C-alpha cells in the first residue's frame, strides 16, 4: 500500500528546529519549534557524579518556542518555556499544553512541575505535575490529556518510587488528566483484566475514544476505552498470533489496522476483533512511499481511519478504510 505525499511542514521562522511533532485531536499535524541553539540545550544531557549522563528536566531559563497547527493557513502560537525534551498538544480556546518528558522528585522540594498550559497569546495560565518518564502526550476533543509513560516512568526513577519518594505517577502506564492538570478519576484502560503496560503504550484517538496497544509482561493486548458509553467503558483483545504492532481504528465494525510488529515496521494487517476477546488477522500489506520506495525510518500516528507518517518534517498519509483489492 502506497502512502500519499502530503507535504513538508514548514517552520514558522526560517532556521527553526523541530522539537516535537504529533497530531491534534482533529487529525491535524501539530509541531513545536525552537531556535537551533535553544534546541540543543533542550535535548542536552547532564552528567551525574557517577558519570551517568541523564536528560535534564528543565533549563536554567525560559526559551522562546512556536507551536504550529498545520491547517490550510497554519496557526502559530508563540510562547516561552524552560521545560526540556518537550511534548506539545492543543487544547480548546487556542490554548497550548507543553509537557517535559522528565520530572524529578526530592523530599526537600517535592515534585517538579513539568506541565504548562499557555493561552492563545502565549501567556502562562497554569502549571502542574504529570510525572517522570513521559513517552507520549495526546489530547482528546473533550480536553482530556492522555499521557503514556516508558519504563522509568512506570517503575520509578528521578526520586519517584524510592524509599523517600511517592509512587510513580505513571505506574499505570497510561493516565488521563483533565485540563486543570489533575488526574481524571475514571477507570483507565490498563486497570482491567488485560493488565497494565510494562512499556510505553501506543495510542490512537477518535474524539474521546482511545485505543491503546501494549505489552503487559505476558502478552500484547489492545484495549478500547470509551468514557461516553453506558456500563462497561472498556473492551480488550489479545493480539497474540497477529504479529503485534499498534492499532489504528477503522469505521468498519470491529476492524482495526495493525501497523508494524514482529515482521517489520512497514507491515499493515487488517484485523477483526471478535466478541470472545480474540483478534483474527486478515489481509496483510507492505507500506511504501510513493513509487514503491521503502518506508525508511518514520513515526506513525492514527486518526479516524487515516494513517499519518512523518520522517522529520515530511508528511505522508494513507486512508486505511480504502484497502487495496
pLDDT in tens, 73-82: 999 999 999 9
Taking the CB of residue 314, how many other CB atoms lie within 10 A of it? 15
Predicted local confidence at residue 48, as pLDDT:
62
Predicted local confidence at residue 232, as pLDDT:
67
Q: How far apart are CA 53 and CA 230, in angstroms?
A: 48
Concatenate the DSSP letters of all residues of 29-76 into one string: EEEEEE-HHHHHHHH-EEE-TTS-EEE-SEEEEEEEEEEEE-SSS-EE
Which residues is 314 bridged to in the sheet?
8, 311
Is the per-residue pLDDT at 55 higher than 90?
no
How does DSSP classify residue 291? G
- Average pLDDT (228-255) is 82
Taking the CB of residue 165, how many other CB atoms lie within 10 A of it? 18
Question: Where is pLDDT greater, at 230 or 197?
Answer: 197
137 close to 144: Cβ distance less than 8 angstroms: no
| Sole residue written with cell 476533543 | 141
Predicted local confidence at residue 231, as pLDDT:
58
- Average pLDDT (121-150) is 96
Share of the chain above pLDDT 70, in %: 94
Q: Is 94 helix (H, G, I), strand (E, B) or coil?
A: helix
Confidence of residue 28 (pLDDT cuts 50, 70, 90): very high
Closest to 186 measured CA to CA, from 228, 149, 227, 137: 227
Predicted local confidence at residue 196, as pLDDT:
86
- Average pLDDT (129-152) is 95
Predicted local confidence at residue 128, as pLDDT:
98
Predicted local confidence at residue 147, as pLDDT:
96
Confidence of residue 154 (pLDDT cuts 50, 70, 90): very high
Q: Which residues contact 32 (CB under 8 A, 6 or more apart)?
A: 18, 19, 20, 21, 65, 66, 67, 68, 86, 87, 88, 98
Across the chain, mean pLDDT equals 90
Q: Which residues contact 47 (CB under 8 A, 6 or more apart)?
A: 53, 54
Predicted local confidence at residue 36, as pLDDT:
86
Q: How far apart are CA 86 and CA 102, in angstroms?
A: 9
- The answer to which of 40-44, 47-51, 139-143, 178-182 has the lowest mean pLDDT is 47-51
Give me 116's grid cell.
504548562
Closest to 237 measured CA to CA, from 192, 178, 284, 298: 192
Confidence of residue 252 (pLDDT cuts 50, 70, 90): low
- Average pLDDT (42-71) is 83
- Average pLDDT (292-320) is 93
Predicted local confidence at residue 149, as pLDDT:
95
Question: Where is pLDDT greater, at 52 or 207?
Answer: 207
Q: How far apart are CA 141 and CA 210, in angstroms?
A: 11
Predicted local confidence at residue 227, as pLDDT:
76
Q: In degrees rounded to 5, what are phi and psi of residue 150? A: -90, -175
- Average pLDDT (94-105) is 96
- The answer to which of 109-113, 253-257, 305-309 has the lowest mean pLDDT is 253-257
Positive or negative CA dihedral for 150, 151, 155, 158? Answer: negative
- Average pLDDT (149-170) is 92
Which H/E stretch holds residue 154? helix 151-155
Is the per-residue pLDDT at 311 higher than 90?
yes
Which H/E stretch holds residue 306? strand 306-311
For residue 203, the Cα-to-chain-centroid distance in whole angstroms is: 6
With 0-12 / 13-18 / 19 or more C-beta atoms within 10 angstroms meaning exposed / middle / buried, residue 297 is: exposed
Amino acid at each position: 500500500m502506497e502512502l500519499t505525499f502530503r507535504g513538508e511542514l514548514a517552520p514558522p521562522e526560517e532556521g527553526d528546529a523541530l522539537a516535537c511533532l504529533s497530531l491534534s485531536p482533529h487529525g491535524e499535524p501539530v509541531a513545536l519549534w525552537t531556535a537551533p541553539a535553544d534546541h540543543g540545550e533542550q535535548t542536552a544531557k547532564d552528567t551525574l557524579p557517577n558519570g551517568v549522563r541523564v536528560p535534564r528536566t528543565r533549563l536554567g531559563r525560559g526559551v522562546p518556542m512556536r507551536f504550529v497547527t498545520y491547517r490550510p493557513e497554519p496557526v502559530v502560537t508563540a510562547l516561552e518555556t524552560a521545560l526540556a525534551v518537550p511534548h506539545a498538544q492543543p487544547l480548546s480556546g487556542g490554548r497550548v499544553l507543553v509537557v517535559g518528558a522528565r520530572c524529578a522528585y526530592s523530599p526537600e522540594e517535592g515534585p517538579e512541575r513539568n506541565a504548562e498550559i499557555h493561552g492563545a497569546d502565549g501567556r502562562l495560565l497554569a502549571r502542574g505535575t504529570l510525572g517522570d518518564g513521559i513517552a507520549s502526550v495526546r489530547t482528546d476533543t473533550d480536553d482530556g490529556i492522555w499521557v503514556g509513560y516508558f519504563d522509568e516512568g512506570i517503575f520509578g526513577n528521578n526520586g519517584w518510587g524510592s524509599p523517600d519518594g511517592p509512587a510513580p505517577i505513571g505506574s499505570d502506564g497510561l493516565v488521563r488528566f483533565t485540563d486543570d492538570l489533575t488526574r481524571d478519576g475514571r477507570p483507565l484502560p490498563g486497570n482491567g483484566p488485560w493488565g497494565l503496560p510494562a512499556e510505553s503504550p501506543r495510542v490512537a484517538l477518535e474524539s474521546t475514544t482511545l485505543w491503546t496497544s501494549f505489552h503487559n509482561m505476558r502478552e500484547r493486548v489492545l484495549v478500547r476505552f470509551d468514557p461516553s458509553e453506558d456500563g462497561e467503558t472498556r473492551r480488550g483483545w489479545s493480539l497474540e498470533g497477529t504479529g503485534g504492532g499498534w492499532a489504528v481504528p477503522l469505521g468498519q465494525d470491529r476492524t482495526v489496522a495493525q501497523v508494524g510488529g514482529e515482521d517489520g515496521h512497514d507491515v499493515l494487517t487488517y484485523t477483526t476483533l471478535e466478541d470472545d476477546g480474540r483478534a483474527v488477522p486478515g489481509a496483510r500489506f507492505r507500506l511504501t512511499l510513493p513509487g514503491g520506495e521503502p518506508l525508511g525510518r518514520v513515526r506513525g500516528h492514527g486518526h479516524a481511519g487515516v494513517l499519518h507518517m512523518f520522517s522529520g518534517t515530511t508528511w505522508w498519509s494513507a486512508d486505511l478504510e480504502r484497502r487495496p483489492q
